[in-house]
């Protein structure tokens, strides 16, 4: 099923021809099927290329690229971390292989902690094979395929074609490209790809490979093209999606117990427990961005996935929606605080009590993967620090660290940007709290 969403944009490098080509030279040494330029602009199919390894590509050139490189003769048995067949531009290619540390080996939980088996009404699903602690890694996997989320093949379409005919011709041509990418996979991965579920069947000219890809797509938050999100660029262009053999089996819940995060150096998507998971419990992630929306709005977000969610929140929307409203009201992290230096009860009344209430509501509702949860833990640690209660401060700081591990352990530019933002907020809060300690006087207000 299609999962993930675009969190935000990030900085792009300039769209220029390569100046330093050592990246490609390194890739080409002792590697197999590494880079093949997709000739433009009139290519009927991928195999029209000469297949030569080359360093001579530009940022906007489309490439077929196997990442990371693997030794000649490698099989998935000998090299279980695997590799991804990528249909990407030179810009994305450089971004991938210039990641510091790339390609690191995949981390593996020991012993393995999941199994794939039948999930009633949902086909296959992922289940916990043992108890899993909040923050623990469940699986890290490299994608089978990395592909543009939307792509217009450069093949010329007859000028008299209508918009609809052009769309259909493009869809047909893209299917040919995809066929070429899938054929580069090892045979067992081709079989695994064909076994993935396909719930998309639109009459828009798209073929079975595209439909399977779109049913199982995870959006990728790295490697945006410089064109992404620019005026005049249609939605979906300039970004990539990934298809996985195992991760594509994880089902959706609006109250997920696991989180996904891309880890650039190991070139893998990592799934971590966002709360404690008991043995035999099904492991869920969310496919939608705003899981605290009321039930009808969530169902609307799920529309492209063509199923009705039956998670605990969707099964009991009146209770769940009301709880979410309360969480949003009580859980405000920035609020104006009335301070009285002579009577520190305000710390409990205005900071600790609402945070604890909100924390309980979040746990009852199963929303521990929300950033608010982490923010409240940080607020509690700060509040107890203000009261000089070191034991409570340590307790909440430890819990914050575990949640942070679950939510932002992977290494990628988006997480790095989020970390910097979060540290700035924490610094500002601490400075404000320090001021409170230094101010002589009775009553005043401050925003925390």
**Using CB under 5 A, which of the segments 78-86, 121-129, 228-236, 314-322 binds Zn ion?**
314-322
Q: Which is nearer to Zn ion, 283 or 448 (CB)?
A: 283
Q: Using CB under 5 A, which of 43, 64, 292, 314 touches Zn ion?
A: 314
Q: Which is nearer to Zn ion, 311 or 399 (CB)?
A: 311
**Least spacing, CB of residue 5 vs Zn ion, in Å:** 16
- Give me the least distance between CB of 122 and Zn ion, in Å please: 12
Please state the closest distance from residue 258 (CB atom) to Zn ion, in A: 15
What's the min distance (Å) between Cβ of 300 and Zn ion? 12
Taking the least distance from each CB to Zn ion, the nearer of 147 and 254 is 254
Nearer to Zn ion by C-beta: 164 or 328?
A: 328
| Residue placing its CB nearer to Zn ion in the complex, 181 or 291 | 291
Residue 311 CB, shortest distance to Zn ion, in Å, is 3
254 lines the binding site for Zn ion (CB under 5 A): yes
Q: Cβ closer to Zn ion: 137 or 292?
A: 292
Q: Which residues of 91-113 are buried (b: 16+ CB within 10 A; e: fewer)?
A: bbbbbbbebeeebbebeeeeeeb
Of 120-128, 179-187, 231-239, 253-261, which segment contacts Zn ion by CB under 5 A? Answer: 253-261
Q: How far is the CB of 53 from Zn ion (least distance, A)?
A: 47
Number of residues that bind Zn ion (CB under 5 A): 4
Residues 284-313 that bind Zn ion (CB under 5 A): 309, 311
Positions in the binding site for Zn ion (CB under 5 A): 254, 309, 311, 314
């Amino acid at each position: 099923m299609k999962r993930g969403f675009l969190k935000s944009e990030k900085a792009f490098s300039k769209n220029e021809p390569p100046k330093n080509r050592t990246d490609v030279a390194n890739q080409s040494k002792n590697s197999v099927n590494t880079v093949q330029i997709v000739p433009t602009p009139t290519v009927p199919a991928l195999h029209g290329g000469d297949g030569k390894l080359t360093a001579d590509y530009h940022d906007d050139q489309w490439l077929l690229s196997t990442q990371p490189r693997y030794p000649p003769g490698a099989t998935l048995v000998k090299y279980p971390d695997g590799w991804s067949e990528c249909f990407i531009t030179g810009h994305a290619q450089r971004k991938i292989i210039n990641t510091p540390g790339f390609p690191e080996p995949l981390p593996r939980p020991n012993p393995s902690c999941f199994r794939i088996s039948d999930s009633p009404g949902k086909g296959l699903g992922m289940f916990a094979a043992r108890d899993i602690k909040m923050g623990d890694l469940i699986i890290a996997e490299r994608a089978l395929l990395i592909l543009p989320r939307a792509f217009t093949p450069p093949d010329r379409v007859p000028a008299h074609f209508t918009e609809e005919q052009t769309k259909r011709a493009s869809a047909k041509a893209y299917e040919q490209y995809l066929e070429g990418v899938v054929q580069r996979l090892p045979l067992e991965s081709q079989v695994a790809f064909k076994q993935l579920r396909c719930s998309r069947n639109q009459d828009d000219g798209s073929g079975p490979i595209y439909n399977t890809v779109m049913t199982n797509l995870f959006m990728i938050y790295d490697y945006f093209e410089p064109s992404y999100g620019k005026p005049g660029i249609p939605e979906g262009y300039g970004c990539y999606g990934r298809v996985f053999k195992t991760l594509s089996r994880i089902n959706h819940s609006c109250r997920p117990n696991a989180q996904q995060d891309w880890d650039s150096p190991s070139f893998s998507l990592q799934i971590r427990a966002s709360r404690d998971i008991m043995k035999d419990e099904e492991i869920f992630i969310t496919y939608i961005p705003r899981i605290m929306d009321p039930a009808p709005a969530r169902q609307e977000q799920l529309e492209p996935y063509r199923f009705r969610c039956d998670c605990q929140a969707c099964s009991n929307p009146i209770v769940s929606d009301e709880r979410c409203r309360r969480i949003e009201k009580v859980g405000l992290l920035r609020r104006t605080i009335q301070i009285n230096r002579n009577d520190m009860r305000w710390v409990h009344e205005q900071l600790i009590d609402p945070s604890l209430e909100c924390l309980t509501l979040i746990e009852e509702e199963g929303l521990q993967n929300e950033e608010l949860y982490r923010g409240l833990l940080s607020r509690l640690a700060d509040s107890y620090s203000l009261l000089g209660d070191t034991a409570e401060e340590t307790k909440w700081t430890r819990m914050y660290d575990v949640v942070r591990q679950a939510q932002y352990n992977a290494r990628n530019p988006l997480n790095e940007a989020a970390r910097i933002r979060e540290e700035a907020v924490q610094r500002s809060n601490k400075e404000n709290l320090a001021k409170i300690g230094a101010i002589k006087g009775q009553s005043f207000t401050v925003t925390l």
